[in-house]
């Protein structure tokens, strides 16, 4: 238990640290990786370069600190991050290392303003926050290893098939090298893929949604090729251009809290933009396989036909539902879609099933626009689920 004095000190200094948040965490990462370069096997180097992880970690530590006397308020946020930590192999022994360098960075950036009292209070608070993560992650590690077909850490998968879905998106069918049956997952969940590019010193990790319904003998991911010069594009370019059928990738057990319960009865509207279609198609197909009477509306936005993935698959799958509908929204004019332009309140009023639950996935500006439109037509926030690919960042929903 933290003393009231510690809580007061932490809360009183949150605003100062918030102002310096990005500076502190940038300093933190540079010192951390200098002392512990092996952690570069876990962290996404592209996120470091773009400053995205810096903001994510800073935001979360301060959000946690504000709620330090009632941490249960942030448990859902902790769980979301814990899923990602578990899928990446973050372990209890990593927490003291991160804590040590976070405190060093606070001291470095704040200088004399960081008194011993302040540093001690933050050290204790970090310990409490870290314990919350460690205990939630322990349960997740136990589940991943004990679920039927589960495993610890990473295991080898062979690329059994590579299939082009559009000019930008290619599917990879991944079979476990040991031939074991795979654990079931919830549609919408992702896997962490780990690989090493020849000539690189460190492993690279990326999360990809599972892009079809569960089968015991393979997982499928569908990867958009990002620009090679974009640091985020290194793994996708490597997968697209260098890896072939027969090659190996490492995977950890599926993770994530963005999923739908297949067996619910209430209507569902699945809204995706671009490669955000991957978890949505997994949800659609899982419902068609297991609960085909559930009303499902599938709305997908793509720039044009060339970059649209799973066009025929969506039509065939929707046809298997007794009450299914699908709409395509092309951004470019003059194409044969159901709507032209962007998904807005008008499109949603005409196409979505307004009585049910909503899942939204795509790039940030797309999701912000869709969530704001849903809100504008009166859909309550608790009916809207969304997932952005990449570190959790603040999504503007109003």
Q: Residue 59 or residue 326: which is nearer to ligand HEM going by CB? A: 59
Confirm or reject binding of residue 232 to ligand HEM (CB under 6 A). Answer: no
Q: Residue 69 or residue 180: which is nearer to ligand HEM going by CB? A: 69
Q: Residue 89 or residue 267: which is nearer to ligand HEM going by CB? A: 89
Confirm or reject binding of residue 360 to ligand HEM (CB under 6 A). Answer: no
Q: At 212, is the secondary structure helix, strand, or coil?
A: coil
**Residue 38 annotated to the active site:** no
Q: Which of 29, 95, 126, 281 is catalytic?
A: 95
Q: Residue 46 or residue 109: which is nearer to ligand HEM going by CB? A: 46
Integer Cα distance of 198 and 233 in angstroms = 16
Confirm or reject binding of residue 29 to ligand HEM (CB under 6 A). Answer: no
Region from 35-43, 325-333, 351-359, 375-383 binding ligand HEM, contact rule CB under 6 A: 35-43
Q: How many CB atoms lie within 10 A of CB 350?
A: 10
**Residue 137 annotated to the active site:** yes
How many residues sit close enough to ligand HEM to count as binding (CB under 6 A)? 23
Region from 11-19, 36-44, 248-256, 376-384 binding ligand HEM, contact rule CB under 6 A: 36-44
Q: Residue 129 or residue 253: which is nearer to ligand HEM going by CB? A: 129
Residue 230 corresponds to which tokens in the numbers above? Answer: 């974009």
For residue 193, the minimal CB distance to ligand HEM (Å) is 13
Q: At 246, is the secondary structure helix, strand, or coil?
A: coil
In sequence order, the 6+-apart residues with CB closer than 8 A to the CB of 176 are 155, 156, 157, 158, 182
CB neighbour burial string for 75-107, b if at least 16 within 10 angstroms, e if fewer: eeebbbbbbbbbbbbbeeebbeebbbbbbbbbb
In sequence order, the 6+-apart residues with CB closer than 8 A to the CB of 240 are 170, 223, 225
| Beta strand extents in the chain (DSSP E only) | 155-164, 169-176, 190-195, 204-209, 219-224, 248-251, 268-273, 296-302, 324-330, 339-340, 357-361, 384-387
Place of tokens 């969506």: 314
Q: At 207, is the secondary structure helix, strand, or coil?
A: strand
Binding to ligand HEM (CB under 6 A) within 53-112 occurs at 53, 56-57, 60-61, 81, 84-85, 88, 90, 94-95, 98
Q: Is 20 in contact with 109 (CB distance < 8 Å)?
A: yes
Q: Residue 122 or residue 214: which is nearer to ligand HEM going by CB? A: 122
Confirm or reject binding of residue 327 to ligand HEM (CB under 6 A). Answer: no
For residue 97, the minimal CB distance to ligand HEM (Å) is 7
Integer Cα distance of 367 and 8 in angstroms = 37
Confirm or reject binding of residue 259 to ligand HEM (CB under 6 A). Answer: no
For residue 10, the minimal CB distance to ligand HEM (Å) is 14
| DSSP letter assigned to residue 331 | S
Q: Which of 124, 137, 165, 226 is catalytic?
A: 137
Integer Cα distance of 391 and 115 in angstroms = 32
Region from 52-60, 227-235, 252-260, 322-330 binding ligand HEM, contact rule CB under 6 A: 52-60
Binding region for ligand HEM (CB under 6 A) = 39, 42-44, 47, 53, 56-57, 60-61, 81, 84-85, 88, 90, 94-95, 98, 129-130, 133, 391-392
Catalytically active residues are 95, 137
């Amino acid at each position: 238990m933290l003393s009231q004095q510690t809580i007061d000190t932490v809360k009183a200094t949150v605003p100062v640290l918030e102002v310096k948040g990005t500076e502190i965490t940038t300093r933190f990462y540079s010192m951390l990786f200098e002392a512990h370069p092996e952690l570069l096997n876990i962290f996404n180097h592209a996120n470091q370069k773009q400053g995205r992880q810096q903001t994510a970690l800073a935001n979360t530590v301060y959000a946690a600190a504000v709620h330090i006397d009632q941490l249960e308020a942030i448990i859902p946020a902790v769980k979301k991050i814990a899923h990602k930590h578990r899928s990446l192999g973050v372990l209890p022994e990593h927490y003291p290392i991160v804590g040590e360098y976070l405190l060093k960075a606070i001291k470095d950036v704040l200088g004399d303003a960081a008194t011993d009292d302040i540093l001690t209070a933050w050290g204790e608070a970090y310990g409490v926050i870290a314990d919350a993560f460690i205990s939630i992650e322990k349960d997740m590690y136990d589940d991943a290893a004990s679920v039927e077909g589960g495993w610890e850490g990473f295991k080898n998968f062979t690329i059994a098939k590579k299939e082009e879905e559009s000019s930008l998106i290619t599917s990879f069918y991944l079979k476990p090298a040991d031939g074991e049956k795979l654990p079931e997952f919830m549609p919408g969940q992702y896997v962490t893929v780990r690989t090493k590019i020849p000539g690189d010193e460190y492993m690279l990790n990326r999360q990809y949604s599972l892009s079809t319904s569960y089968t015991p003998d393979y997982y499928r991911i569908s990867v958009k090729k990002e620009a090679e010069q974009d640091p985020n594009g290194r793994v996708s370019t490597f997968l697209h251009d260098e890896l072939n059928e027969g090659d190996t990738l490492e995977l950890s057990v599926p993770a994530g809290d963005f999923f739908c319960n297949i067996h619910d009865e209430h209507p569902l509207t699945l809204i995706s933009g671009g490669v955000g279609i991957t978890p949505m198609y997994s949800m659609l197909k899982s419902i068609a396989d297991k609960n085909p009477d559930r009303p499902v509306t599938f709305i997908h936005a793509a720039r044009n036909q060339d970059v649209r993935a799973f066009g025929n698959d969506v039509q065939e799958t929707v046809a298997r539902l007794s009450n299914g509908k699908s709409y395509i929204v092309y951004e470019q004019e003059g194409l044969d879609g159901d709507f032209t332009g962007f998904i807005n309140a008008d499109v949603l009023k005409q196409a979505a099933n307004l009585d049910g639950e909503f899942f939204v996935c795509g790039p940030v500006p797309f999701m912000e626009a869709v969530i704001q439109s849903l809100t504008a037509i009166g859909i309550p926030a608790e009916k809207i689920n969304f997932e952005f690919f990449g570190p959790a960042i603040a999504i503007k929903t109003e």
